Every structure is written in structure tokens, then in C-alpha cells.
């Protein structure tokens, strides 16, 4: 129960982080930060982020005539519009009025007969001028195209299968779990279908919205029917990289469930216990009594019998998610120096690692000793030598 109180205090620090930075937080909250290593680190990182934000863009020099150029472009657009004749004879005006009325009636008739289009959203164009974080002027045009938020429950396709020593297999079943067929790469999983792996097999499943779920050995996953994105992890474990959409996704558990806010995480359940380790984004973990807790990146959420859901720092994040890569022959490379970290990087949503794209640039170790306790901090900086946004473990 002390761990639960500690997690609640840490969550309160995150909610009132601005007050903590300004020194206006309550005495109890400031006292907790002074005693909690994790919250001190959060405060230090927030102070550093605020400092960097204040310095960002100081070297930017906006175009001097930006405003004049934008106004000139708007004036040119207005000048290009056709203008009506200023003088017309009464007969001409009457004829044009009748013709315009007939044309309007014809358009209305065609519109009434035209079928309504579904699954598309209107294109939106927004012109923004102003100063961003560091007073940098910008002109941005944003367009939203059709089909940006696919509706409907999940279906899927098995992308890859990995079995120990070539033995074992995967089953694709109907919603009842009674009618099952052997699955292989390319096999389709309908809404309401089940996927089962045996004790020797792992599989990667690509879902209909682009999300990717990798199932561990001895795992069963049910894709829920209906219009909502959802699945049920009956037993076993998985790693999920869920695409972000307006509609949230949900993974049900034997007791409780996880609401996904567009993220990457590892989920495992055994009996009435469950754990979720988040590497990107955040999730909400809830038990069967609808008690919930928010789990952010770098954290681990836990469900245990007769205990409220709680959050703790994840000390084995790489192990929780790393098996999903190694299952398909992507073994970790040998580290050249003992004690040095490595970062395997790839583009979000892809499985192919970028060789030599990210390298270790610096390695710094700090040790603080207080009595019989030694606190060791290792800071490593990795440089991305590619032009792409990469993520890694």
C-alpha cells in the first residue's frame, strides 16, 4: 500500500509540475520531491527542457518582407476573381436572371439524385501566420484528406511466424474457438477471430488500421467484433505498436483492461495478474472494479489481486519488448566495449533496423555516495546520422 501512495504522489507531481518548477507547490508536494529520486529527476529534466525551450530559435532570422509578401499574394488572388459587368440592359439582366434560376434548379435536382459519399472527410486548408516558440515567423498550410481515421473493429493478417527449431505452429480460430485452422504467413484473421500460439511459436500480426501486434509463445488473442478497435488477451504476452486515431483502442484482460492512447507497449497476463510496460505514448490500466492508473513511457503498470493498479519505474523495458525483435532473427549485435549501451533504431511502424544510423556519441558516469548507499547515474548520448525520425531500444 506504501507503493500505491508513492505512485499517487508521483502522479500528483506530474499534474502540478508547473507549480513545482515555480516553487508554488504545496509543502507536502515539495517535501515528496525532495525525498523521491524519480520526482527529482523529473523536475531536473523539466527545468532543462524549459531552459532549452527559452534558447530555441535565437539564431532564427525571419524574412523581413514576409507580411508584405503574404498580403500581396492575397491581393493578387482577389484581383484574379472575375467581376460582373457594372451596366446591363434590362432585357439582358432579365434573361440572365431566368437562366440563373434554371441553372440553380438543375443543380438542385442533380444534387438530390447524387448518392451521398461515405468514409471521406472534407479537405481543410488553414493559413497560419505568426510567431512560434522562439518568435520564428511561419506560413503553414494544413490539409486533411479522406480516410484519415479508419472506422470499425480490427481484422488482421499474419505477417511472420517464428518457431523454435522449425517446430510448432499457430492456429487461427473463429470467435467460439472451436473451429481452427493452421496459420501461416499471409493467413487472414476476421473480426471476432482468435489467434493461438503454442509453446514454441511467436507470430507478428498486422491489423487493419496498420497497427502491429507480436504474440509471444503460449498466447491467445481474440479480435473483438463491432465497430470499436479492440482485442482480448486471454493469456500470454504481446508487444503492440498501435496507430494513433481519434477512436481509442482497448485490450481486454481476464481481469480489467488497457485503454491505448496511440502507443507502443508490452502487455502480459497470468491469471488475475497483469503488467504493461510502455515505451512510447501512454495507456490507462484498469482493474475489474474500474480503478485505473495512467502509465506513461518508461513506466510499468501492474494489476495484482486485491490491490489497486499501481505504476513503477520499468527497469527491464528492453527485455519486455526486445523479444519481439529477436523472435524473427533480429539478434542484438555484439557490443564492442563492456559497459557501453547500444541503441537499435528504426522508423516508427517499421521492422527493419537501420544499420549504423545511430551511434554512441558520449558516455558519462556519475556516482554519489551517501553513507552505505551509492547512486550511480549513466548518461549516454546517441547521434542519429540519418535524415529520418527513428525510435529504438
Q: Region 75-94: what's the mean pLDDT?
A: 59
Report the range of poorest mean pLDDT among 60-69, 111-120, 164-173.
111-120
Q: What is the mean pLDDT of the chain?
A: 76
pLDDT tens digits for 89-147? 555 545 555 555 555 566 555 544 444 444 433 333 333 333 333 333 333 333 333 33
pLDDT over 90, % of the chain? 26
Q: Region 42-71: what's the mean pLDDT?
A: 74
pLDDT tens digits for 10-23? 888 888 888 887 77
Q: Region 374-385: what's the mean pLDDT?
A: 83
Q: What is the pTM of this model?
A: 0.51
386 backbone dihedrals φ, ψ, rounded to 5°: -100, 175
What residue segments make up the domains of the chain, in order of their start?
A: 1-53+121-145, 156-319, 332-392
Q: Is CATH 2.60.120.1440 the classification given to domain 156-319?
A: yes
Residue, of 281 and 133, whose pLDDT is higher: 281
Residue 287 is predicted with a pLDDT of 92
Amino acid at each position: 500500500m506504501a507503493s500505491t501512495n508513492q505512485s499517487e504522489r508521483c502522479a500528483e507531481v506530474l499534474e502540478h509540475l508547473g507549480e513545482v518548477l515555480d516553487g508554488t507547490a504545496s509543502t507536502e508536494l515539495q517535501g515528496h520531491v525532495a525525498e523521491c529520486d524519480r520526482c527529482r529527476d523529473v523536475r531536473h529534466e523539466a527545468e532543462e527542457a524549459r531552459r532549452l525551450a527559452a534558447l530555441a530559435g535565437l539564431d532564427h532570422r525571419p524574412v523581413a518582407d514576409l507580411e508584405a509578401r503574404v498580403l500581396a499574394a492575397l491581393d493578387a488572388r482577389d484581383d484574379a476573381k472575375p467581376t460582373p459587368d457594372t451596366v446591363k440592359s434590362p432585357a439582358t439582366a432579365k434573361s440572365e436572371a431566368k437562366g440563373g434560376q434554371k441553372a440553380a434548379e438543375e443543380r438542385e435536382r442533380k444534387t438530390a439524385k447524387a448518392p451521398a459519399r461515405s468514409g471521406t472527410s472534407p479537405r481543410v486548408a488553414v493559413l497560419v501566420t505568426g510567431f512560434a516558440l522562439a518568435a520564428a515567423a511561419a506560413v503553414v498550410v494544413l490539409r486533411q484528406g479522406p480516410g484519415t481515421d479508419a472506422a470499425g473493429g480490427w481484422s488482421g493478417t499474419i505477417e511472420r511466424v517464428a518457431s523454435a527449431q522449425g517446430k510448432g505452429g499457430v492456429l487461427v480460430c473463429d470467435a467460439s474457438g472451436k473451429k481452427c485452422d493452421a496459420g501461416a504467413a499471409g493467413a487472414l484473421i476476421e473480426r471476432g477471430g482468435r489467434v493461438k500460439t503454442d509453446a514454441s511459436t511467436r507470430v507478428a500480426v498486422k491489423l487493419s488500421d496498420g497497427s502491429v501486434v507480436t504474440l509471444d509463445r503460449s498466447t491467445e488473442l481474440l479480435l473483438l467484433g463491432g465497430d470499436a478497435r479492440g482485442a482480448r488477451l486471454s493469456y500470454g504476452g504481446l508487444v503492440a505498436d498501435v496507430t494513433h486515431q481519434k477512436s481509442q483502442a482497448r485490450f481486454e484482460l481476464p481481469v480489467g483492461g488497457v485503454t491505448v492512447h496511440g502507443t507502443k507497449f508490452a502487455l502480459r497476463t497470468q491469471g488475475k495478474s497483469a503488467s504493461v510496460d510502455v515505451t512510447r505514448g501512454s495507456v490507462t490500466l484498469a482493474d475489474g472494479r474500474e480503478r485505473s492508473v495512467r502509465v506513461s513511457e518508461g513506466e510499468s503498470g501492474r494489476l495484482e489481486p486485491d490491490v489497486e493498479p499501481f505504476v513503477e519505474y520499468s527497469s527491464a523495458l528492453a527485455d519486455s519488448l526486445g523479444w519481439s525483435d529477436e523472435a524473427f532473427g533480429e539478434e542484438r549485435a555484439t557490443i564492442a566495449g563492456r559497459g557501453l549501451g547500444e541503441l537499435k533504431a528504426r522508423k516508427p511502424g517499421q521492422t527493419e533496423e537501420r544499420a549504423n544510423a545511430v551511434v554512441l556519441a558520449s558516455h558519462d558516469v556519475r556516482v554519489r555516495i551517501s553513507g552505505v548507499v551509492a547512486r550511480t547515474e549513466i548518461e549516454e548520448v546517441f547521434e542519429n546520422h540519418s535524415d529520418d525520425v527513428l525510435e529504438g531500444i
